[in-house]
Structure 1
Amino acid sequence: MPYEAPTQPMHALQVEPDATPTSLMRAAPTTFFDDIAGLRGVAVLLVVLFHSHVPYLTGGFVGVDVFFVISGFLITGLLVREYERHERISLRGFFARRARRIIPPAALVIVVSIIGAAIFMPLLKVFKQALDLLAAAAQVANWHFIQQNADYLAGAIDGSLATHFWSLAIEAQLYFIWPFLVIGAGALATRTRLRERLSVRWSVGIAVLVVSVASLVWAVVLTPTDPATAYMATYTRAWQFGVGGLVAICLPMLARFGALRAGGPVALVLGWAGLAGIVVAAFIVNAHTPYPGTAALLPTAGAALVIASGCAVGSGSVFVGRLLATPPLKFLGRVSYAWYLWHWPAIVLYEAVVGSSSWPVLLAVSAGSLVLATISTLLFEEPLLHNRELKRNDSASISLGLTGVVAALAVTMTAGVITVQVASRDTVANASLTYQSVFGTDSGEQSGPVTPNPFQAFDDRPQPFECLIPVGDTAPRENCVFGPANGIPVVLFGDSHADQWAESIRNIGADHGWRIHQFTKAACPAQHLRPQPRIPDPYVKPDCQEWREETLKRIAEVGPRIIFVSSLSTYVPDRVVSEAAWTHTMIQLRNTGAKLVYIADTPYPGFQVADCISGSMDDWTKCEFGFDDYPRIEPIIDPVSRDEYQDVAKLSVNDLLCKGNSCFAAHNKILFYRDDSHLTATAARVLEPALRAQLDKQRFDYNAG
């Protein structure tokens, strides 16, 4: 993470004695910023160890929280001191320093990363990486991932080369906002009637405190309901930046406190307690901890205490600053920005080539990236940072930053365009695909173009898209009822694995006069799964529980004659829990008096099939997977529970999608999966005759009279 190194030692920052509050600041040791560098070293080490999956360090991501506090401390301190001296802030100079310090190293990593992706990743994956890195280059990676509802702690974006740019984007956005906050608060203290009662420092402190409290409250409220946004939104992380800023604002008081007889021992205890808080958080916080929420208070307060301790007493032999100022930690702090930038692409590209690896291997890869980070720091980052002409000429620094942004944007956009152009050459006519052409021939083609094209697969979903209620919502965005008003009432109920059959059910219903009511919600199973301890998955969230209860009431009101139900079979690997959940739901569905039809869950790949196929056009078998690779619990079709569900009609296409335990990703020109779990709409349409044939074989009463 970037920070602005001081241009002079701390003792030189002391203000000459006068009537202002800053005259209370005593000289601090010149080693103070060595403490800050060491703290940055601790922070980056925690993040790297976490990303390397080192055992027990489940909360190493709290290193990012420490970075936010450090940045807030340094940036706020610089801005306040400048405003106190000149009653103004040079925005041109401020942004020039940011541009020179932050953008060139990040742009270099972005360019190298997309080149690495082009060399080592399949075509569709390169395109996705280009989109992610494009957002990183534009300093909006956090909002890009939020838009995807990507839960960082759940590993939703672990395969992205730009994952770690979410925090850099937040800092860049705060760097743009913070000077105006200081200027506005400073103006109140110097250009209004408040100047007689309010100093610049106190005015800025109040403004930062208000912003920080509002941000913290927002984070705590949002964490349980929208963890992805709470974790990566600028407004839910600003409070950590503000905590560092408050320490900087209180610098004169901290210095005065350290001079008191009791100040030193208290600062000593608080400093070590702060470091202990950071380390403890790194071990006790994990992916199941609602975060940031209140859990982020521990590492944030810990970082603030360490910095405050250094402000008060410096780096005496028994103080925490002494440890942080040791050469190894100072060195890590020096290269921390570069190491943070380089280590994650190194891990992702390595795993793209060799697959998932053990933590010792990933740790070795991260260590190798430290060598690269050191070279980058010494030969690229620091020469630009300390270049005399760039330091003298703000316009040149800003131009350098803009050039870095433009270069990163241009390279990533070019990579995206090229991949699309290459992929567009590989497609086959959708109309040529039928049940007979795909499953009625023994040719078994295993290479060549497929439909949908891997680049089109993600959007090859049942329409209207709005009938699948997204995670976090409880109501559809349109009326999802299809068929004649006086038709036979039929219900389709379940999660996205039910939704993938929506068009097929509607086509069958069109031949029998059905009035179909669709009730489907993403990541919300039909079975009544209740919240599990330490399980953060969407299916346990209040919106899912509320939707299911309300939907079962609405189904009863519809009075259906037929109910089609389907659901993902891998939510819970515990048979007892799953059976109880299905029993609860099936009792309520049976109470409607409707004929129940269960569509067996389709095979679960567990990886992005379209990505794989885009790099395996010469041999689709490279993307095959095992039917039992993931524990599947389906009591309705399980032989153990079969007697309890004799009244339920069962449909399954799995014998067509798999041969034995080996399941196809593509077959006879058709791509079966659009992502890591769902069938393409094209595949569902092709499989529709199989559903009809099974209903006919069971002498199904389409009127259910």
Structure 2
Amino acid sequence: MSWQHRPSLDGLRTIAVYLVLCFHGGVVWADGGFVGVDLFFVLSGFLVSSILLEELATTGKVRIGAFYARRVRRLLPAALVVVTVTSLVFLLVAPIVRRLPWVGDAQASLLYVANWRFLSQSDDYFAGAGVVQSPFLHFWSLAVEEQFYLLFPFLLLGLAWARKRWAPALTVGIAALMLASIAAQVFWATRDADHAYYGTDARIYQPLAGVLAAIAWRRLATRPRALRHSGWVFLGLLLLTATSLVPWNPSVRGLVATAASVGLILATMTRTTPGLDRLLSLAPLTWLGRISYGTYLWHWPVLLLIREGIDAPAWVDATLTAAIATGLAALSFELLENPVRRSELLARFAPGTVVVGLACSVLAAYTVVPAALQNDAKPALALIPATAPGVAAAAPAAAASGDKPVPAIDWQAIADSKGAETSYCTLSDTTSCIAHQGGSDLHVMLVGDSHARVLSPTLEKIAEQQDFTLSTSMVAACPWQQGVVSRFSNEQEKSDCVAARSALYGGLLDAMDIDVVVLTEMPRSSDTWQHGLIATDGSNLPIDKLNLNTMTSSLQTIRKAGARSVVVESWIVRYDDVNPLECLSGASRIGQCTVPAPPAPLTDSFARTLAAGSPGITTLSINDIVCPGGAVCAPVLNDIPVWRDSKHYSTEVLLDHVKEIRARFLATGYFG
């Protein structure tokens, strides 16, 4: 069959975009609505390959330059406008600390590598409320598509050449690549769910499935009996996959949705389900499908703004988002996308169109985006609150103690001050984790998670001053005790955590002749972080019992190795996820951003009890050093922010108080 566009394909686009919108909007039945992206991928592969196969069949060649020019005219103008407008709008409503991480997100979006950007950051696409999400997160899927578009014309030409020598080459080649991608999907699904979702290698099977659908459709001489009336079945399967009725993970949903999408497309193109074809060809559905690209681009930043501006049920958020995003998409389609796409002038200058389009994208990425998102201006509109309930009540206490204007702060430097990198030794490597080699016989090991990484530069400074050797066993999101991992860490972090703790408590203390172990971590107990731990032995103990058991056994192991333990008590953190640094960046006076000190978590009580009953174990706190106010903490000391985010002190404030912190460690009597 020769290529002919079907209006019902636009109807399928409508289904795809509004499934995604319902999922992002938190509509209760749409837990799997992200499969709308899977439908988009299959449709994209089908449409692009159908056009190129038709061109190859009628002319014997593929004009790659013209293909790229069409893609640039179709996709780039709207994306460029959305990224630019989003950057400018968030300049007005978000403080700089929130905006800074988005610079790289926006740049990656304009350069169509956003999926790898978010994967490198291990951003959880399925993160829920309380997690600050990038307004450019949805560009990951467009990046996957563009990477497919970049390579597919060359792949098609190569397989078409091979087909002259072996007839099945095209079909077999595409099928082999699709199966390899499915294998990558299955592999990563059990090792790194983020890679399985974001990785081009693990997602390219979906547009390739669309290519196979295009090849199959071109070879159909009649309407296949097997497809008659099957469109309703495939549509039902797709919609079922998009709901919470099936307990499938994203990888399984993606595979099922891909199969359903292929069936839907073939049923639509062969018109073997007339009732479905008429439904999908209804004018409202086809119109919404034609502007679906713009709707997808606009819906996510619009939804984030709505959520920050109003507190409403999910269905209200989704409805408002649909109305606003659809309206913006309609304007974009009529005023920008259609004129550019249908421009005869641009069509005549394909190479120039590609060069100019890419130049505009790069120029916006490295001029407009940083100028907006790195601008130090205070938010002109207060859609996104800098503070939270409780802060206002604490502000009078700060004012009474001498409230001051927020000083000049290098926001980027503080936000980036994550301390030392992940570092740990193993039984076969006892030197790479040494942070400072001292001249005395004293050997100290710092053990913990990201709190240890933040504390490490300060403890290294103390090691230099006291001339002892400092080694580290630090892994992000990894508790200091053996036998547990964080439920919310990624697979690499869990693997590193198990390796680091198994080595530490499995002979490394003796092998490295450790004298003192300093233990610090973010508290993970029932009163602060319910369900936050997983026992590595598979047991299902309550979190407090699990904490007590593993803390006891780990401290006993340290003691048996002849080392002494210093447990640093939990830092003052915000469990409501309000970022004090972000608050400061949007405030005029420091009193607007005071931090109420929470009650000590149960893990501190466990540590104190264990220290009281065992020689060679002690606890210390640095909280009153950085929070001399007691119940209410100032967010700035000596013009330095105390916190870099809601869960960590800043490295700078600890270094600024190294003298007082050193005195605390020396007072234990363990450091000479």
TM-score using structure 2 length: 0.84
User: Any residues of structure 2 matched to 1:388-407 within 5 Å, and which?
Assistant: 388-391=344-347, 393-395=349-351, 397-398=353-354, 401-402=357-358, 404-406=360-362
CA distance in 2, matches of 1:86, 1:327: 34
What SS class does the counterpart of residue 411 from structure 2 fall into? coil
Would you say how many aligned residue pairs link Structure 1 and Structure 2?
630
User: Any residues of structure 2 matched to 1:196-207 within 5 Å, and which?
Assistant: 197-198=166-167, 202-207=168-173
Query: Residue 387 and residue 455 in structure 1: after superposition, are their counterparts in 2 closer, same or farther (change >3 A)?
Result: same
1:263 corresponds to 2:234: no
Query: Residue 44 and residue 467 in structure 1: after superposition, are their counterparts in 2 closer, same or farther (change >3 A)?
Result: closer
Match of 2:556 among 563, 587, 595: 587
Identity among equivalent pairs (%)? 26
Partner residue in 1 for 2:498? 545
Partner residue in 2 for 1:251? 217
CA distance in 2, matches of 1:664, 1:365: 39
CA contact (8 A) 1:132 1:160 kept: yes
CA distance in 1, matches of 2:331, 2:640: 48
- What is the CA distance between 1:445 and its match in structure 2? 4.8
Please identify, of 634-643 and 495-504, the stretch whose mean Cα deviation from structure 2 is larger. Answer: 634-643
Partner residue in 1 for 2:261? 303
Match of 1:409 among 344, 365, 389: 365
CA contact (8 A) 1:127 1:416 kept: no
What SS class does the counterpart of residue 644 from structure 2 fall into? coil
Query: Residue 119 and residue 476 in structure 1: after superposition, are their counterparts in 2 closer, same or farther (change >3 A)?
Result: farther
CA contact (8 A) 2:516 2:670 kept: no
CA distance in 1, matches of 2:135, 2:31: 21
- What is the CA distance between 1:555 and its match in structure 2? 2.2
Q: Which amino acid aligns with 1:590?
A: R
What SS class does the counterpart of residue 500 from structure 1 fall into? helix
Provide Cα deviations, 1:97-139, integer angstroms capped at 9, x if missing partner: 1111111111111121111122222234344333321221122
User: Any residues of structure 2 matched to 1:102-121 within 5 Å, and which?
Assistant: 102-121=75-94
- What is the CA distance between 1:647 and its match in structure 2? 5.4
Partner residue in 1 for 2:120? 147
CA contact (8 A) 1:492 1:564 kept: yes
1:325 corresponds to 2:281: yes
CA distance in 1, matches of 2:27, 2:88: 28
Q: Which amino acid aligns with 1:92?
A: G
Provide Cα deviations, 1:280-334, integer angstroms capped at 9, x if missing partner: 2222499x97644x442122222112112223434412xx434433444323312
Partner residue in 2 for 1:273? 233
Query: Residue 636 and residue 551 in structure 1: after superposition, are their counterparts in 2 closer, same or farther (change >3 A)?
Result: farther
CA contact (8 A) 2:96 2:377 kept: no
Match of 2:197 among 231, 244, 267: 231
CA contact (8 A) 2:608 2:618 kept: no
Partner residue in 2 for 1:3? none
Partner residue in 1 for 2:405? 447
Query: Residue 327 and residue 541 in structure 1: after superposition, are their counterparts in 2 closer, same or farther (change >3 A)?
Result: farther
Query: Residue 550 and residue 622 in structure 1: after superposition, are their counterparts in 2 closer, same or farther (change >3 A)?
Result: same
Give structure 1 stretches of 5+ with no counterpart. 1-10, 15-29, 424-441
Provide Cα deviations, 1:612-667, integer angstroms capped at 9, x if missing partner: 32222x223333444449x9441555778776667531111223444455444323
CA distance in 2, matches of 1:74, 1:653: 62
Query: Residue 468 and residue 420 in structure 1: after superposition, are their counterparts in 2 closer, same or farther (change >3 A)?
Result: farther
Match of 1:138 among 111, 120, 132: 111
CA distance in 2, matches of 1:162, 1:477: 42
CA distance in 1, matches of 2:598, 2:299: 34
CA contact (8 A) 2:91 2:372 kept: no
Q: Which amino acid aligns with 1:306?
A: L
CA distance in 1, matches of 2:269, 2:357: 32
What SS class does the counterpart of residue 523 from structure 2 fall into? coil
Q: Which amino acid aligns with 2:586?
A: G
Q: Which amino acid aligns with 1:362?
A: D
Please identify, of 171-180 and 647-656, the stretch whose mean Cα deviation from structure 2 is larger. Answer: 647-656
CA contact (8 A) 2:103 2:374 kept: no
CA distance in 1, matches of 2:94, 2:437: 45
CA distance in 2, matches of 1:290, 1:541: 20
1:480 corresponds to 2:451: no
- What is the CA distance between 1:487 and its match in structure 2? 1.8
Partner residue in 1 for 2:443? 489
Match of 2:603 among 634, 641, 650: 634
Please identify, of 215-224 and 233-242, the stretch whose mean Cα deviation from structure 2 is larger. Answer: 215-224
Q: Which amino acid aligns with 2:437?
A: G
Q: Which amino acid aligns with 1:541?
A: K
CA distance in 2, matches of 1:239, 1:356: 39
CA contact (8 A) 1:39 1:333 kept: yes
- What is the CA distance between 1:459 and its match in structure 2? 3.4
Q: Which amino acid aligns with 1:557?
A: A
Match of 2:324 among 368, 376, 385: 368
- What is the CA distance between 1:549 and its match in structure 2? 0.9
CA contact (8 A) 1:466 1:477 kept: no
CA distance in 2, matches of 1:221, 1:447: 53
Q: Which amino acid aligns with 1:263?
A: A
Query: Residue 556 and residue 321 in structure 1: after superposition, are their counterparts in 2 closer, same or farther (change >3 A)?
Result: farther
- What is the CA distance between 1:597 and its match in structure 2? 0.5
Query: Residue 529 and residue 635 in structure 1: after superposition, are their counterparts in 2 closer, same or farther (change >3 A)?
Result: farther
CA distance in 2, matches of 1:636, 1:445: 34
Partner residue in 1 for 2:536? none
TM-score using structure 1 length: 0.80
Q: Which amino acid aligns with 1:592?
A: A
Query: Residue 642 and residue 514 in structure 1: after superposition, are their counterparts in 2 closer, same or farther (change >3 A)?
Result: closer
- What is the CA distance between 1:159 and its match in structure 2? 2.7
1:602 corresponds to 2:568: no
CA distance in 2, matches of 1:421, 1:225: 42
CA RMSD of aligned residues (A): 3.5
Please identify, of 637-646 and 564-573, the stretch whose mean Cα deviation from structure 2 is larger. Answer: 637-646
1:166 corresponds to 2:140: yes
CA contact (8 A) 1:564 1:598 kept: yes
What SS class does the counterpart of residue 127 from structure 2 fall into? coil
Query: Residue 448 and residue 530 in structure 1: after superposition, are their counterparts in 2 closer, same or farther (change >3 A)?
Result: closer
1:458 corresponds to 2:429: no
CA contact (8 A) 1:498 1:567 kept: yes
1:242 corresponds to 2:199: no
1:69 corresponds to 2:42: yes
Query: Residue 693 and residue 535 in structure 1: after superposition, are their counterparts in 2 closer, same or farther (change >3 A)?
Result: closer
Query: Residue 400 and residue 316 in structure 1: after superposition, are their counterparts in 2 closer, same or farther (change >3 A)?
Result: farther
- What is the CA distance between 1:592 and its match in structure 2? 1.6
Match of 2:624 among 642, 652, 655: 655
Q: Which amino acid aligns with 1:245?
A: V
Q: Which amino acid aligns with 2:266?
A: A
CA contact (8 A) 1:110 1:137 kept: yes
Give structure 2 stretches of 5+ with no counterpart. 380-399, 531-542
- What is the CA distance between 1:682 and its match in structure 2? 1.4
1:611 corresponds to 2:553: no
- What is the CA distance between 1:675 and its match in structure 2? 3.2
Provide Cα deviations, 1:394-422, integer angstroms capped at 9, x if missing partner: 35643663464255335534516962799
CA distance in 2, matches of 1:591, 1:178: 62
- What is the CA distance between 1:590 and its match in structure 2? 2.8
CA contact (8 A) 2:96 2:411 kept: no
CA distance in 1, matches of 2:496, 2:311: 34
- What is the CA distance between 1:513 and its match in structure 2? 4.1
Match of 2:163 among 189, 196, 209: 189
